[in-house]
């Protein structure tokens, strides 16, 4: 009897600890969001988005160049990662049993686990060293390399979810395999793939480490992809480690913008997923 | 008809070769990372040899490059982070998969995913201005007699190993817990029902499920370890960036990723640059090995469960 009571007590205590660990994990999340919002909101104004960085102490300083720069670098990365990622995903789903398919799956998982700073070095080796010049292009190469495995894996998974009868129908009507995939199967999976792309964008938009020595930084407004460019994340980093109160405030404001972008993307993705699930259940 | 068939077959061939070329490109890119790093760091590898990893003195100005403190800092901070995060991550996974009422699952999964989605730089910023002062305060509370223990020696700076380990732990929790959750979900329900039928308490049934899923759980923890090893920005901002080997939690130290982030863009000297790339190469190799092993562990769990969901879906189709 005593043993039984002890067993039940132990069970309850451990289950309570499990609940406690959820709370422990939520505390830093709440703290981070609280500080980012409360410290960032004060420095976030119209000028932050429209004006250039100014020397310490001068009012009306902003990060216009960094915000534009972030869009350019992320856009470059997406421009080359999305097609490659989708095509690799198509191959892995269409020829699932082949050795190349397992190879590319393995490569994507490996790439996904490579630290972002190492990816930055790789991009430095292939896109900075040969030109002897930091550039937005090199930053795009780094971010794109990180994005490819994410997009490839979502594409593959979602293509496999499309009912095979759809493709078989197209093939029976005399379509070639390429036509069946690109005009029937891929469009059916497209909403899901867009969600995956959104999540991948959210993830690489917050990357800093691979940009430190690829797109580097630029104090001026630049849209030239062959020149160094300023990005939001790198700018936040340099402001954060600076000794100036004024720049710290700017860093918090930048962090708030970053968190806002990331939150927006993941909430949008979540809503899209929920809608798709409803559609699937309905149909 | 007769003319169309070979044409279609040719199209299919084009499709296969065309998409396959991209797949091979991706495989080549991963191999290319290794080759590029080896090539770019060859000068350092051939100049220093093993000496590079056996000496402690890092002074780029004097041309002295010993990388042992960085390996130490990376491994020590990651192990500490795992020690903190593993019980919490497992607790979360158990809570979500075994305990939580159904309506609570989605919001909780969303919140843990949010923790993973916050950019590293934001963690770092928060670390510098909120966590580090807090850790400094904690460190001043340590009584004098405890300072004799190597773990707590040194002045209370805040910036140092403890802050780095804490922030890494926070960042690793969502990764390990989401994989552990998936693994626990793959444990057949019959396993738990059997335990309950034998009169097991909730914890005993859960322990059974944990035991069943042990390889996958180890994989989940290792995946988190791989993340911790390569984490750069947040650690760089709070670890203090001082290359020394110390057991002390209070001592500022340095990691491989942090030294690359701090010095790479400004490395004017050829040898300095190559030495940093060699550090990157070793980081790449370590994380590669960890990741491959953990994926194999998780994958072997996944293979066991494959038949179950498929059978269920066939039934559903038959019913429809």
Over residues B194-235, the pLDDT tens digits come to 999 998 998 999 999 999 999 999 999 999 999 999 999 999
Domain match, B305 and B269 both: yes
Instruction: Please answer yes or no on whether A266 and B88 come within 8 Å at the CB atom.
Output: no
> Which of A186, A122, A199 shows the shortest CA–CA distance to A156?
A186
Instruction: Please answer yes or no on whether A25 and B201 come within 8 Å at the CB atom.
Output: no
Domain match, B26 and B83 both: no
B112 touches chain A (CB under 8 A): yes
Looking at beta carbons, which residues of chain B come within 8 Å of A177?
Answer: 11-12, 15-16
**Superfamily of domain A68-231 in the CATH hierarchy:** MetI-like (1.10.3720.10)
CB proximity list for B312: less than 8 A, separation 6 or greater: none
pLDDT of residue B299: 81
- Measured distance CA(A102)–CA(A83) in Å, rounded: 20
Chain A, window 31-50: residues with a beta carbon less than 8 angstroms from a chain B beta carbon? 31-32, 35-36, 39
What average pLDDT does the structure give for chain B? 88
pLDDT of residue B320: 38
Domain match, B129 and B12 both: no
Three-class DSSP category at A82 = helix
pLDDT of residue A281: 63
**B319 within domain boundaries:** no
Instruction: Please answer yes or no on whether A15 and B99 come within 8 Å at the CB atom.
Output: yes
ipTM: 0.91
Indicate whether B295 pLDDT > 90.
no
Q: Which residues of A18-41 are buried (b: 16+ CB within 10 A; e: fewer)?
A: beebbebbbebbeebbebbeebbe
Instruction: Please answer yes or no on whether B277 and A115 come within 8 Å at the CB atom.
Output: no
- Return the minimum-mean-pLDDT range out of A87-91, A257-261, B32-36, B187-191: B187-191
Choose, out of B122, B174, B284, the residue to mutate when testing the contact with A (most A CBs < 10 Å). B122
**B320 within domain boundaries:** no
pLDDT of residue B316: 41
Residue A239 to chain B, least CA–CA distance (Å): 10
- Return the minimum-mean-pLDDT range out of A121-130, A131-140, B6-15, B307-316: B307-316
| Percentage above 90 pLDDT, chain B | 59
Chain A, window 180-239: residues with a beta carbon less than 8 angstroms from a chain B beta carbon? 181, 202-203, 205-209, 212-213, 216, 233, 236-237
Ramachandran angles phi, psi of B58, nearest 5°: -115, 105
Task: Kindly report, residue by residue over B14-59, the tens digit of the pLDDT.
Answer: 899 999 999 999 999 999 999 999 999 999 999 888 889 988 889 8
Domain match, B177 and B81 both: yes
Choose, out of B1, B26, B320, the residue to mutate when testing the contact with A (most A CBs < 10 Å). B26
**B298 within domain boundaries:** yes
- Measured distance CA(B138)–CA(B181) in Å, rounded: 33
From the list A15, A117, A177, the residue facing B280 with the nearest CB is: A117
**B318 within domain boundaries:** no
Domain match, B37 and B99 both: no
Give the CATH number for residue B236.
1.10.3720.10
- Contacts by residues A63-66 (CB-CB < 8 Å, ≥ 24 positions apart): A63/A230, A63/A232, A63/A235, A63/A250, A63/A253, A63/A254, A63/A257, A64/A221, A65/A218, A65/A219, A65/A220, A65/A221, A65/A222, A65/A230, A66/A230, A66/A231, A66/A232, A66/A234, A66/A235, A66/A254
- Measured distance CA(A206)–CA(B233) in Å, rounded: 11
pLDDT of residue B318: 41
Confidence of residue B304 (pLDDT cuts 50, 70, 90): low
Looking at beta carbons, which residues of chain B come within 8 Å of A134?
Answer: 265
| Percentage above 90 pLDDT, chain A | 64
pLDDT of residue B151: 87
A 10 A CB-CB count for A111 gives 22
Task: Kindly report, residue by residue over A216-262, the tens digit of the pLDDT.
Answer: 888 888 888 899 999 999 999 999 999 998 899 999 999 999 999 98
A138 touches chain B (CB under 8 A): no
Instruction: Please answer yes or no on whether A266 and B117 come within 8 Å at the CB atom.
Output: yes
Indicate whether B123 pLDDT > 50.
yes
- Measured distance CA(B166)–CA(A122) in Å, rounded: 29
Domain match, B36 and B159 both: no
Task: Kindly report, residue by residue over A172-188, the tens digit of the pLDDT.
Answer: 998 888 889 999 999 99
Distance from the Cα of residue B78 to its chain's centroid:
9
Residue A116 to chain B, least CA–CA distance (Å): 7
Domain match, B29 and B66 both: no
- Residue A178 near residue B15 (C-beta atoms within 8 A): yes
Domain match, B43 and B129 both: no
Instruction: Give the mean pLDDT of B244-257.
Output: 93
DSSP B266: T
pLDDT of residue B4: 54
pLDDT of residue B313: 39
- Residue B232 near residue A209 (C-beta atoms within 8 A): yes
B79 touches chain A (CB under 8 A): no
The dihedral through the CA atoms of A259, A265, A270, A271 has a sign that is: positive
Residue in A with minimal Cα distance to B40: A125
Chain B, window 234-293: residues with a beta carbon less than 8 angstroms from a chain A beta carbon? 237, 257, 260-261, 264-265, 277, 280, 283-284, 287-288, 290-292
- Measured distance CA(B243)–CA(A127) in Å, rounded: 30
- CA-based end-to-end distance of chain B: 38
Domain match, B306 and B287 both: yes
- In DSSP terms, B59 is beta-bridged to B64
- Measured distance CA(B120)–CA(B232) in Å, rounded: 8
Task: Look up tokens 């057991």; give the residue.
Answer: B247
Looking at beta carbons, which residues of chain A come within 8 Å of B90?
Answer: 21
Residue in B with minimal Cα distance to A234: B121
What's the CA angle centered on A93, arms A147 and A80, to 5 degrees? Answer: 25
Looking at beta carbons, which residues of chain B come within 8 Å of A10?
Answer: 201, 203
Looking at beta carbons, which residues of chain B come within 8 Å of A237?
Answer: 121, 124, 233, 237
Range of the domain at B197: 53-313
Prediction pTM value: 0.90
Residue in A with minimal Cα distance to B207: A11
B105 touches chain A (CB under 8 A): no
Confidence of residue A106 (pLDDT cuts 50, 70, 90): very high
Helical (H) or strand (E) element with B65 = strand B64-65
- Measured distance CA(A48)–CA(B18) in Å, rounded: 46
Looking at beta carbons, which residues of chain B come within 8 Å of A233?
Answer: 119, 121
DSSP B145: G
- Residue B280 near residue A117 (C-beta atoms within 8 A): yes
Domain count, chain B: 2
Domain match, B179 and B306 both: yes
Domain match, B25 and B122 both: no
**B30 within domain boundaries:** yes
Instruction: Please answer yes or no on whether B15 and A14 come within 8 Å at the CB atom.
Output: no
Three-class DSSP category at B312 = helix
Domain match, B184 and B198 both: yes
Q: Can you read off the two tokens belonging to residue B190? A: 């019959």
């Amino acid at each position: 009897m005593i043993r039984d009571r002890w067993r039940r007590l132990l069970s309850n205590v451990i289950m309570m600890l499990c609940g406690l660990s959820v709370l422990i994990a939520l505390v830093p999340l709440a703290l981070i969001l609280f500080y980012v919002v409360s410290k960032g909101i004060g420095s976030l104004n119209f000028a932050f988005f429209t004006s250039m960085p100014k020397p310490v102490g001068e009012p009306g300083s902003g990060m216009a160049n960094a915000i534009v720069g972030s869009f350019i670098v992320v856009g470059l990365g997406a421009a080359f990662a999305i097609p490659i990622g989708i095509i690799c995903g198509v191959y892995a789903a269409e020829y699932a049993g082949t050795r190349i398919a397992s190879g590319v799956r393995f490569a994507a998982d490996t790439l996904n686990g490579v630290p972002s700073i190492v990816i930055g070095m790789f991009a430095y080796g292939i896109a900075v060293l040969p030109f002897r010049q930091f550039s937005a292009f090199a930053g795009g190469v780094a971010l794109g390399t990180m994005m490819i495995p994410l997009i490839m894996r979502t594409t593959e998974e979602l293509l496999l979810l499309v009912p095979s009868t759809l493709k078989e129908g197209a093939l029976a009507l005399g379509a070639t395999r390429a036509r069946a995939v690109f005009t029937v199967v891929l469009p059916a999976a497209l909403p899901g793939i867009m969600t995956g792309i959104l999540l991948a964008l959210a993830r690489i938009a917050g990357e800093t480490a691979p940009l430190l020595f690829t797109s580097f930084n630029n104090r001026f407004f630049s849209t030239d992809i062959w020149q160094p460019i300023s990005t939001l994340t790198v700018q936040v980093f340099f402001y954060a480690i600076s000794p100036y109160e004024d720049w710290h405030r700017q860093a918090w404001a930048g962090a708030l913008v970053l968190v806002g972008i990331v939150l927006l993307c993941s909430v949008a993705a979540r809503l899209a997923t929920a809608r798709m699930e409803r559609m699937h259940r309905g149909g | 008809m007769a003319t169309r068939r070979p044409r279609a077959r040719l199209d299919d061939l084009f499709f296969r070769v065309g998409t396959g070329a991209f797949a091979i490109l991706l495989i080549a890119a991963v191999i290319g990372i290794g080759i590029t790093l080896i090539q770019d760091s060859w000068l350092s590898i051939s100049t220093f040899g093993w000496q590079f990893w056996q000496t402690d003195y890092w002074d780029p100005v004097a041309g002295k490059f010993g990388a042992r403190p960085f390996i130490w800092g990376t491994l020590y901070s990651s192990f500490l982070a795992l020690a903190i995060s593993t019980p919490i991550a497992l607790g979360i996974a158990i809570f979500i998969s075994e305990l939580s009422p159904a309506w609570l699952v989605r919001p909780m999964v969303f919140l843990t995913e949010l923790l993973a989605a916050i950019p590293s730089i934001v963690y770092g910023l928060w670390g510098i201005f909120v966590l580090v002062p807090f850790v400094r305060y904690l460190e001043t509370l340590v009584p004098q007699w405890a300072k004799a223990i190597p773990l707590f020696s040194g002045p209370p700076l805040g910036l140092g190993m403890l802050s780095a380990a804490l922030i890494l732990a926070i960042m690793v929790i969502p990764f390990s817990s989401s994989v552990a959750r998936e693994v626990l979900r793959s444990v057949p329900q019959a396993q738990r029902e059997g335990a309950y039928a034998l009169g097991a308490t909730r914890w005993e049934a859960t322990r059974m499920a944990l035991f069943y899923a042990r390889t996958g759980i180890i994989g989940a923890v290792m995946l988190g370890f791989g993340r911790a090893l390569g984490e750069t920005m947040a650690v760089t901002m709070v670890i203090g960036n001082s290359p020394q080997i110390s057991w002390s939690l209070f001592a500022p130290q340095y990691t491989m990723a942090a030294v690359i982030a701090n010095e790479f863009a400004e490395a004017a000297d050829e040898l300095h640059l190559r030495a940093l790339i060699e550090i990157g190469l070793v980081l790449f190799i370590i994380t590669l090995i960890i990741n491959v092993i953990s994926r194999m562990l998780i994958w072997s769990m996944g293979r066991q469960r494959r038949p179950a969901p498929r059978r269920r879906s066939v039934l559903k189709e038959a019913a429809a």
